[in-house]
Structure 1
Amino acid sequence: MNFLQTVLAFIVCLGSLIVFHELGHYLVARWCGVKVLRFSVGMGKVVWSRRFGPDQTEWAISALPLGGYVKMLDAREGDLGGLPPEDLAREFTRQNVWKRIAIVAAGPLANFLIAIVLFAGLYMHGIEEPSSKISVTAGGKAAQAGLQGGDVIAAINEQPVQVWSELRWQFIQAAIDKRDLRLAVERAGQGRLAATLPASALAGLDLEGDVPGQLGVGVARPAPVVQQVMPGSPAERAGLQPGDLLKSVDGVAVADGIAFIDIIRGAAGKTVQVQLERASQPLTISMVPQAEQAKSGKGTVTVGKIGAYVALAPDMISVPSSPLAALGKAVAKVWDTCTMTLKMIGKMITGEASLKNVTGPITIADYAGQTARMGAASYLSFIAFISISLGVMNLLPIPVLDGGHLLYYSLEVLTGRSVPERVGEIAQRLGMGLLLTLMLLAVFNDVARLL
């Protein structure tokens, strides 16, 4: 079932974005008076088609589901000698350079527009997610900077922060830009304080991983209170009860439910002493976690379980915005994501970031399935991010991509002459080779992640 959901989520995500991208080209081409011969979702052999409209444009679905295209009347693709003058006037290469630029740029711009619409809708609705209240790892860089568990991050580098995704985004941007993290912190009983994580502390972080976590910052979780005890379980036999506040295991303090679970998982078949509070009274009980087999990234491992549920959910908040504020936040989000993507590409070119960051369809499909299972808000947010990525990638100055054509037309604007056909053919071959290399690298990285 998960596999089918992943495939469906991937098809809906990529298929819809391809349609919107090509619709951008199609609508602007029609607006500029260019005749459109075919609108295809997919590449390769046409498997289904119908003709509509005054120009009898062919609307088609093709065999290869990755990609799509809009085929316009174009003298570079065949002899147009038999066409009437009114059709020749609508041929693509006969349009002035500014119309050609508009038609080519319309696809990526459509991707950015869809992302803005999706983000604006999410911001207006409000997305329930963890607040910016944090936990801090002892001895980590955040602790060394003076942060404490239970602190609420109110602003980062003068940018207001309310939820965890905003906090994480600011951490990643600071790491990419190699600048200090200046934090405005609200601490119970002390009001607002200031703390700084210097740029040197952010150097060398794995930008693909959990950036806040590498600095010792995590989502704050509630106190480890027992919520449910399963009948016949080791926890019930030991006398554990709902409402018990877990304090430590074998003298090791547990700050939250995750810490308690980690200790129990590593104590399979061993007797442990659990210190707790019940009705404000201290109590110590003994229990033996039951050994069970569980899957992990390294295969099957033995873990300990006691059959009790402990509070884990962090503080969740939803922050809806007015339509105007949501639109402004959406535009800023798309802009920031574009600039961050370009910075990452630049760092990969210069060797400052690993080429392992290049991902392909397998990883996209995996994330599509995961976010779809998390809920509509997560899935729509993922689609928005993929739409931005498609827009940015298509604007790169690589021949065969929209950005390569825009480069040709920009040179034509500057020189007053079109790029020689021979030069264009050579560039197309080089661009295709580069694109295939990137695709192979992306698939290799996808497979490596799976293994």
Structure 2
Amino acid sequence: MELSTLLNSVIHGVWYYVVIFLLILTVVVFVHEMGHFLVARWNGIRVDVFSIGFGPEVWGWTDPKTGTRWRFSLVPLGGYVKFFGDADAASATGDDRPMTDEEKAVSFQHKRVGQRAAVVFAGPAANFIFAILGLAGLFLVLGQAVTEPVVGAVQAGSAAEAAGLRAGDRINAINGTPVDRFQDIQRIVRIEIERPLDLSVQRGTETLAIEARPKVVQRKGVFGDMEKVPVLGIAADSARTTLISHTPGSALAEALRETEGMVRSTFIGIGQMINGTRDSDELGGPIRIAKGAGEAAQLGLSSVVFYTILLSLNLGLINLFPIPVLDGGHLVFYAIEAILGRPLGERAQEYGFRVGLFLVLALMVFATRNDIVALPIWQVVKQLFS
């Protein structure tokens, strides 16, 4: 390989799989932390630091009006806001030093439990709002391609062929769930991995009840990652695809519908991983996310925007999990405080955050392990030592 070709390959890889990934991650993290920041300010809380990334500061500036230090830190894989009165960036413990009444008035730890809960919830909420408005914007600008749920072709040797489906069949319902468009078929088939599909099919003037058992195959996903998915084996009829133009109101309504579907599918997928019906190897970490960002960038700007929306939605969901260290864990502690009329003891909270930190780190290690195993070079290494 010539030096110029190698150099171009390296530049290509760095741009698509590192720079684009960090840009997308920065946007998503900024949205999340800005949610915390804005609601904190609305509640009269002083914010000491707003950081994109962790570790030593690389560049920053101090707002003379609020005293907030805005900065970029060395490790650009996340971010945080540190409130006045916090002993650490996670708001897990308060500063023990005596405070004046003026300092207590702007301290996070001295605010009412409802105010603290609102500040914590605002981060995930900002990610959801960003995702919904982003989807609405895409639908408004680009329109929305909608395909009728009509079989255009049946793949030879597929589950659809074995079940007796034919080109021209219209699928009206799957496992009792109504189907309005072909995209609904794809979504339902992906999440109904553990049981056969009972299809209500219209063929001419007849309505048929057909049972199909999708085959689970490994294939390349939309953004380049390898995934195991159930496949029915039918293709849409391209002649029945229309591009719907939306008004701002209909675009927002459709964005809410799509967001609800994504959230529901995510929770179903997590439940299937827990009960063993879905392979936990599908769980990805930073390497897989970076690969997805790179693939999205090569597909075009609209794919980058959609990937950013998807990542924002997932970040909001993950942070709402009731695990100490995450926003959801803080909300659980605040709910207990509201019920008891007092916060949990410091030791209980400390143990809770230790357990939460262990769970988060273990999940990160497992997800990164999945990323490494999925890399092509891993197969080469296995063959060398097998």
Taking structure 2 as the reference length, the TM-score comes to: 0.81
Secondary structure class of the residue paired with 1:209: strand
How far apart in 2 are the matches of 1:333 and 1:317?
A: 18
Give the deviation of 1:19 after TM superposition: 0.1
Distance 1:13 1:131 in 2: 33
1:140 aligned to 2:65? no
Given the alignment, which residue of 365, 369, 384 partners 1:444?
369
Aligned-pair CA distance for 1:398: 1.0
Task: Please state which structure has a larger fraction of its residues in helix.
Answer: 2
Structure with the greater alpha carbon radius of gyration: 1
Match of 1:348 among 252, 273, 283: 273
Give CA-to-partner distance per residue, 1:123-156, whole Å, 9 cap, x none: 2231458775532123432123332135465665
1:168 is the counterpart of 2:186: yes
2-structure distance, mates of 1:385, 1:192: 40
Which of 179, 193, 200 is the equivalent residue of 1:159? 179
Displacement of 1:205 = 7.5
Residue 54 of structure 2: aligned partner: 43
Change (3 A) 1:410 1:144: same
Q: Is this contact kept in 1: 2:62–2:69, CA < 8 A?
A: yes
- Tell me, yes or no, if the aligned pair for 1:146 and 1:195 is still in contact at 8 Å: no
Closer, same or farther: CA 77–411 of 1 in aligned 2, 3 Å: closer
Structure 1: how far apart are the matches of 2:134 and 2:77? 22
Rounded Cα–Cα distance in structure 2 between residues aligned with 1:53 and 1:337: 42
SS of residue in 2 equivalent to 1:426: helix
**Structure 1 residue 383: Cα displacement:** 1.6
Q: 1:216 aligns with which of 225, 233, 239?
A: 233
One-letter identity of the residue aligned with 2:128: F
Relative to structure 1, is the Cα distance of residues 219 and 15 closer, same or farther in structure 2, using a 3 angstrom cutoff?
A: same
Q: Could you say if the C-alpha distance between residues 49 and 69 of structure 1 is closer, same or farther in structure 2, counting changes exceeding 3 Å?
A: same
Q: Which runs of 5+ in 1 are unaligned?
A: 222-313
Q: Secondary structure at the match of 2:65?
A: coil
Separation in 2 of the partners of 1:166 and 1:7? 34
Q: Which amino acid aligns with 2:234?
A: V
Is the Cα contact below 8 Å between 1:136 and 1:143 reproduced in 2?
yes
Alpha-carbon contact 2:132-2:259 (below 8 Å) kept: yes
1:255 match: none
Q: Give secondary structure in 1 for the equivalent of 2:313.
A: helix
Q: Give distance in 2, aligned partners of 1:101 and 1:206.
A: 42
- Alignment correspondent of 1:382: 307
- Does the CA-based 8 Å contact 1:175-1:203 persist in structure 2? no
1:215, distance to aligned residue in structure 2 (A): 2.1
Q: Work out whether residues 174 and 181 of structure 1, in 8 Å CA contact, stay in contact via their aligned partners in 2.
A: no
Aligned to 1:97: 113
Output the CA distance in 1 between the equivalents of 2:206 and 2:33: 50
SS in 2 for 1:67: strand
Residue 136 (structure 2) aligned to one of 102, 117, 120: 120
Q: Which runs of 4+ in 1 moved over 6 A?
A: 203-207
CA deviation vs aligned residue, 1:147-193 (integer Å, no higher than 9, x gap)? 213546566532310x5x443113223436x57453555x6xx3685
Distance apart, 1:38 and its partner CA? 0.7
Contact 1:358 1:445 in 2 (8 A): yes
Amino acid of the residue matched to residue 317 of structure 2?
Answer: V
2:332 to 407, 416, 419: 407
1:97-124 deviation per Cα after TM superposition (whole angstroms, max 9, x unaligned): 1111111011011111111011112222
| Cα distance in 2 between the residues matched to 1:154 and 1:9 | 41
Write the letter of the residue equivalent to 1:357: E
Q: Look up the match of 2:36.
A: 25
- Match runs of 1:183-202 below 5 Å: 183-185=200-202, 190=204, 193-194=207-208, 196-197=210-211, 201-202=213-214
Deviation sequence 1:181-212 (CA, Å, 0-9, x none)? 53555x6xx368555445xx25977794343x
Secondary structure of 1:445 counterpart:
helix
Distance 1:183 1:19, change over 3 A: farther
| Structure 2 contact 196–211 (Cα < 8 Å) conserved | no
What's the CA shift for 1:416? 1.8
Note the residue ranges of structure 2 that are not aligned, 5 or more in a row.
1-10, 87-92, 220-226, 377-386
Count of residues in correspondence between the two structures: 348
Q: Determine the C-alpha separation between the residues in 2 that align with 1:374 and 1:140.
A: 29
Q: Cα gap change, 1:183/1:173 in structure 2, threshold over 3 Å: closer, same or farther?
A: farther
Q: Distance in 2 between matches of 1:73 and 1:193?
A: 66
Measure the CA separation in 2 of the matches of 1:448 and 1:341. Answer: 23
CA RMSD of aligned residues (A): 2.7
